[in-house]
Amino acid sequence: AREAKLDLVTKHIKHFPDFPSKGILFRDICPILKDPGALTAVIDLFEEHVRQTHPQVELIVGLDARGFLFGPLLAQRLGVGFVLVRKKGKLPGPTVSVAYKLEYGEAAVEVQEDAVAPGEKVLLIDDLLATGGTMYAACELMKKQNAEVMGCMVVIELKELNGVEKLKPNTLFSLVQY
């Protein structure tokens, strides 16, 4: 059943050469969202992983923007809350932020100051891990709030960029690898 679900997920990933710029092979998860069976398979696979590996999880933390597509569905399945890590300047009230380097320039991720309690056990989720810069910054943000990062999860891991190294000591669970 697990193999069939992974197969269904893989079949619903589209590949666009040279998007958004020349030399980038863009992995598009939009077809997964369009297919209820494929989307259910993604959430099933994440749920199975969490129940087996991190049953103590208290909060799912999703990354802006594509992490928001999967995170709330998984959180509901698990019966835990969902928290948004957003790109800088989008969240009202007191926030904490962590800056990180992009290929070109800088970006920052932000969370509301009261969103995560000290010691809370969190799992981070996004659609894709490339260099790992975004996910690492989100982990740092959680640690700044004294949350306990149990692990990171993505639908797609781009192996050649070695984001897993960048993420350390945080761990990664991915459904599909390229």
Contacting residues toward ligand ADE, per CB under 6 A: 24-27, 128, 130, 158
Give me the sheet containing 148-157, strands edge to edge.
95-101, 106-112, 81-87, 59-63, 121-129, 148-157, 172-177
Residue identified by tokens 């059943």 is 1
Instruction: By CB under 6 A, tell whether 163 contacts ligand PRP.
Output: yes
Q: Which residues are catalytic?
A: 66, 103
Instruction: By CB under 6 A, tell whether 65 contacts ligand PRP.
Output: yes
Among candidates 82, 68, 81, 84, which has minimal Cα distance to 33? 68
What is the Cα–Cα distance from 56 to 49, expressed in whole angstroms?
12
Residue 150 neighbours by CB distance under 10 Å? 20
- The minimum distance between CB 118 and ligand PRP, in angstroms, equals 26
Q: Which option in ligand ADE, Mg ion, ligand PRP, none does residue 132 bind, with CB closer than 5 to 8 A by kind?
A: ligand PRP
Contacts to Mg ion from residues 37-76, by CB under 5 A: 66
Q: Which option in ligand ADE, ligand PRP, Mg ion, none does residue 170 bind, with CB closer than 5 to 8 A by kind?
A: none
- The minimum distance between CB 1 and Mg ion, in angstroms, equals 29
3 state SS of 148: strand
- The minimum distance between CB 41 and ligand PRP, in angstroms, equals 19
Binding site for ligand PRP (CB under 6 A): 63-66, 126-135, 163
